[in-house]
Amino acid sequence: MQTLHFTLLQTRLFWEDRKANLAMLEKKILGIPEKTEIVVLPEMFSTGFSMRPKDLAETMQGETVTWMKRMAATQRIILTGSLIIEEKGQYFNRLLWVLPNGSIGYYDKRHLFAFAGEDRQYTAGHKRLIAQVKGWKINLQVCYDLRFPVWGRQQNTDVPEYDVLLYVANWPERRSHAWKSLLTARAIENQCFVVAVNRVGEDGNGIYHSGDSMVLDSLGTTLYHKQHEEDVFTIQLEKETLIQVREKFPFWKDADHFKIISEDGDQD
């Protein structure tokens, strides 16, 4: 219960080619040599960060979700990453959390990247998802959410709200300094591990991604960082080290009290 194994899959993506991406990712997942429990894929891993949801979206009964369930079941892993989902005529950049038993949790990206027109093509989510595994709590977020610290902030409770803040992304190399700086800040201010997976290579718009996938501890120390190259990396996180930091430096107890209220008036 004190350890949790994450595998970060930093990879190039075939532009808007679902079958090629699923075949490539399946080969990488089947090739993971170490024991692992959670495998993390990039944002929109089946298509790349596309603004053509009408042509590329799937349903929750579609090919990619079926593939994720099969991979999770056969490899006995939790598989997570985001893809384009259509539901009731709306399109979502949806992060799925797929368990080996076929159960699925999901989080719809809250902050849509207006600079690229994502807000005109997709519908924003309003609810956070904090998953639980072996006594660990994991806050699941997507790419641009990283720039909005309140959405990821530990809400002041009797105990910290979560232990790991996880991001999946298609974050361009031209803003990699912001990516690395903000990931470090999120780890320090929330006294949690941060696990962040980004893609590498050019997308269909000629935008280059340097990867810079990272794992940081609750002091902001970098435990893993890979730039430019494809990589499949497994890391073991230790709950005891997190507990020790929180007990020695109980800064989380002094945090401001707040509530996040969504646009429909619900509290998150």
User: Catalytic pick from 37, 58, 69, 109?
Assistant: 109
Residue 186 and residue 234: Cα distance in Å, rounded?
Answer: 21
User: Residue 240: how many CB atoms within 10 A of its CB?
Assistant: 9
**109 is annotated as an active-site residue:** yes
Helix (H) / strand (E) containing 63: helix 63-75
Provide CB contacts within 8 A for 251, sequence distance 6+: 191
Dihedral angle of Cα 47, 107, 149, 5, to the nearest 10 degrees? -80
Q: How far is CA 173 from CA 45, 215, 226, in A?
A: 17, 18, 13
Query: Choosing from 143, 173, 192, 226, which is the catalytic residue?
Result: 143
Catalytic residue among 43, 58, 118, 173: 43
Residue 143 is a catalytic residue: yes
Q: Report the C-alpha gap between 257 and 164 in whole angstroms.
A: 20
- C-alpha dihedral sign at 204, 208, 213, 219: negative
Catalytic residues: 43, 109, 143
